[in-house]
Amino acid sequence: MTKSILMQLSNGVITRDQTPLISQVNVSLEAGEISLLTGPNGAGKSTLLTALAGEKFLASGNLQFGGVNRDQISLKDLASKRSLMLQQDEAVDQLRAKDVLELADISPAVPAQTREFVSKIVDSALYGKTLGSLSVGQRTRVFLAATAIQNSGVMLLDEPTAGLDSEGISVLAEFLSRHSSAGHAVLIATHEDNLRTLASKEYVVTDGALSLKS
Amino acid sequence: MTKAKPTVLVSLLTALVILAIFANLTIGAYQLSISEIFDSFLRPENVNPITTSIVFDIRIPRLVLGIAIGVSLAGATTLMQSSMRNALADPALLGLAAASALGVVVALVLGFDFGGIAAFLFALVFTVTSFLLLLVGHFGGKRSSASNTLLIGVSLGAFFLGLLGVLATSLDNPQLRAMTLWSFGSLALATQTTSVIALVAAIVGFTVAWIFAPKLDLLLLGEWMAKTLGVETRKLRMISLLLISLLVTAAVYGAGVIAFLGLFSVTVARALVGPRHRLLLVVGSLISVLTILVCDLLARSIAAPVDLPIGFLTSLIGAPVLIFALARSAND
């Protein structure tokens, strides 16, 4: 597969509550590539991920998906271009894991290995439980599975290992590496070192600027 | 929580609703047999004209209005709760029903007939306006919390009822009597016109809600996730707002403010089948229709021949349920 850029933000300025948070943001995510996003607490990593998803916080800059400007892509089509998992979901507690997975299953063709990951990370015991009854790690598992099943070109993950046990982390790591090899791009904001070995690039947010560490 | 099996639950509720329909048609100050009811439809020439008149002018309109109100209030409450992300939202509690009621009274003061289409349209406009005010308070404030919204809603409702009381003094006697009965919520004022208008509005509202239900489900994942999955959340909220207003109006315009019915049925339905909209709409509506028909039967028989306003009975059932739900949500 030839390398292609699935998502690109150039000269981005990220603001939150009218205050500039990060300027000079240049991010480019290629098919088959896993990138890390690191930086101290409160540096704006989650805000940056949200901005890259193309809905909020981007004051200026040129955001493109597969060479097409964000403005020219409908919200519906955007769903196949990127998925976003934030640390805190706002889902209603009465939904079951099953419901979340059914609702996120919008892609016409989810690859077998993604289905396999979903059934591993959300096992049959977890599948029928309501969100309100889950632990932090279990809830992370459900939303990781939901983000994966969306089957979009780019996966944006915010602290995806929060609360996960070592089995969960290795299942996730294995999936991410196979998923990216299959032509997807992944960007992971994290403080942990356990996914570092997968990544080929690292973006670092410090003092309101984004730099690239290869 | 173990969930009831949907097919069994829906069949059971449907059977109970059918039973309640026959009970409501036959039982009353003037007892009718089931064969007399069927004959009124199939062989009207064999039936006493008084019976036909009771069936078509009183029992059927009252039944149809009851069904329309049951469906409307369950639908409106379901949509309100999901769009405001508050499991305690209820059209009567949040002042929407009072706004509808005020709309009807304004129409009466301006000389329009009680139960006519003009009254319906006035009620609709007032409800939409009041809902917009409520949403400004809900999402526009610095901090939007469930209790703030509840307080705003209760205040709006009290304000509208106050205004309604002042305006009602300018009405003449027969209108005032209708108003009094109506402001407590009663099916006694049902006519062929009110029941048909309410039924059409209820069917339209329910159908559109059914169509949008899968998207509304996505909203349960949270605003953000719904957006990343491709839902135009703002557009969806506007549709939801219009639907809620239509359904509340359908419920209020014919029979007044029937408190707690929506909250009661949707709370029970949610506990039985979970938050997904299609099933919740169906089960909530069935419970709501069943409750209103049973309450109406009681309202007509407890103190017969006095016809109690049905709002009294629904409040007696609904208020404890609300307190129970509040206590439970406080424990979460």
- Does A55 contact chain B (CB < 8 Å)? yes
Amino acid at the residue A167: E
pLDDT > 70 fraction of chain B, expressed in percent and rounded: 94
B246 neighbors B264 (Cβ within 8 angstroms): no
Option in B222, B230, B274 nearest A91 (CB): B222
The rounded percent of chain A whose pLDDT value lies above 90 is 39
Any B CB within 8 A of A53 CB: yes
Name every chain A residue with its beta carbon within 8 A of the beta carbon of B82.
92
Instruction: Give B223-280 pLDDT, tens digit per residue.
Output: 888 989 999 888 888 888 889 989 999 998 888 888 889 989 999 898 889 899 999 9
For B303-329, letters b (16+ CB in 10 Å) and e give eeeebbbbbbbbbeebeeebeebeeee
pTM equals: 0.86
Identify which of A92-101, B33-42, B232-241, B300-309 has the greatest average pLDDT: A92-101
Q: What is the pLDDT of residue B271?
A: 86
Write the CB contacts of B205 (distance below 8 Å, at least 6 apart in sequence). Answer: B72, B75, B76, B243, B246, B247, B250
Mean pLDDT for chain B overall: 86
Residue B14 scores a pLDDT above 90: yes
Chain A residue closest to B226 (CA)? A104
In order of their start, the domains of chain A are 5-213 (3.40.50.300)
Cα separation values, B130 from A161, B21, B179, B248, B316, Å: 45, 34, 21, 12, 26
Please name the residue of chain A whose CA is at the shortest distance from the CA of residue B215.
A103
Per-residue confidence (pLDDT) for residue A1, from 0 to 100: 43
Residue-averaged pLDDT of chain A? 88
Q: Give how far A162 is from chain B: nearest CA, Å.
A: 18
pLDDT of B1 above 50? no
Please give the pLDDT value at position B152.
84
Whether A91 contacts chain B with CB within 8 A: yes
Tell me the average pLDDT across B185-199: 88
User: Taking chain A (214 residues) in consecutive chunks of 10 residues, what is each chunk's mean pLDDT?
Assistant: 78 84 88 90 86 82 87 88 88 91 90 91 91 92 94 92 90 91 91 84 87 80
Least-confidence region, from A179-193, B85-99, B288-302: B85-99
Taking CA–CA distances from A129, the nearest residue in chain B reads: B1
Q: Chain centroid to CA B36: how far?
A: 30
Q: Which residue has the tokens 């009681």?
A: B298
Predicted ipTM?
0.88
Task: Taking residues B140-156, report their average pLDDT.
Answer: 72
A2 min Cα distance to partner chain B (Å): 27
pLDDT in tens, A41-54: 888 888 888 888 88
In this prediction, residue B331 carries a pLDDT of 52
Please name the member of B229, B230, B275 whose beta carbon is closest to the beta carbon of A95.
B275
Task: With cut-offs at 50, 70 and 90, classify the pLDDT of residue B71.
Answer: very high
Separation of alpha carbons A59 and A80, rounded Å: 24
For residue A89, give the nearest of B222, B270, B332 by CB distance: B222
Q: Quick check: A89 contacting B, CB < 8 Å?
A: yes
Are residues B224 and A95, on separate chains, in Cβ contact within 8 Å?
no
Tell me if chain A has a CB within 8 Å of the CB of B101: no
Is the model's pLDDT at B204 over the cut of 50?
yes
Sketch the domain layout of chain B as residue ranges.
6-31+66-331
Looking only at the bridges linking them, the beta strands covering A68-69 and A58-65 are antiparallel
A185-189 and A154-158 beta bridge pairing: parallel
What residue in B sits closest to A91 (Cα-Cα)?
B221
Residues in chain B within 8 Å Cβ distance of A148: none
Q: Determine whether the interchain pair B230/A79 forms a contact, defined as Cβ–Cβ distance below 8 Å.
A: yes
In this model, does residue B302 exceed pLDDT 90?
A: no
Task: Give the integer Cα–Cα distance in Å for A100 and B78.
Answer: 19
How much of chain A is helix, strand and coil, in % rounded to 5? 35, 30, 35
- Average the pLDDT over B296-308 and give the result: 82
Q: Does B225 contact A at CB distance below 8 Å?
A: yes
Quick check: B148 pLDDT over 60?
Answer: yes
The yes-or-no verdict on residue B145 having pLDDT over 70 is no
CA distance, residue A52 to nearest chain B CA (Å): 11
Q: Which fold has domain B6-31+66-331?
A: ABC transporter involved in vitamin B12 uptake, BtuC (1.10.3470)
What's the CA gap between B320 and B241, in Å, rounded? 28
Contacts of B232 in chain A (CB under 8 A): 75
Nearest to A83 among B220, B228, B274 (CB): B228
